[in-house]
Structure 1
C-alpha cells in the first residue's frame, strides 16, 4: 500500500495494490475509486483532501498478525 499527499493540489492518493486500472468511478465530486478488470479496488483519490480531512493527523498502523 502506498499513500501520497500532494500539498500543491491538496490531493490524497491511496494505492492499495498495483495493477492495470480498468475503470475509474466517481464516488462524489471529489472522490475517485479506481478498480481493475475484475472489480478489485486498486486506489482511491481524494481531491481537496486538505480541506476535507486533517492531513497532518494521517497515521499508518501496522497489520496485526
Structure 2
C-alpha cells in the first residue's frame, strides 16, 4: 500500500494494491477509483485533498487484536 500526496495539485493518491488497472471510474467530480481485472478497487484518487481530508496530519497505526 502506498499513499502519495501531490502538493502542487492538492491530489491524494492511495494505492491499495499494485495491480494492472483496467478501468477508472468517477465516484464524483473529485474522486476516481481504479479497478483491476477482477473488479477489485486498486487505488483511489482524491482531488482537493486538503479540503476533503486531514492529509497533512496523516498517521499510520497497526492494531493487533
Unaligned runs of 5+ in 2: none
Give the corresponding residue for 1:15: 15
Q: TM-score, normalised by structure 1?
A: 0.89
Paired residues in the alignment total 65
Unaligned runs of 5+ in 1: none
Q: In the TM superposition, what whole-angstrom CA distance separates every residue of 1:5-29 from its partner, at most 9, and x where no partner exists?
A: 1111000000011111011010100
CA distance in 1 between counterparts of 2:14 and 2:63 reads 16
Q: TM-score, normalised by structure 2?
A: 0.89
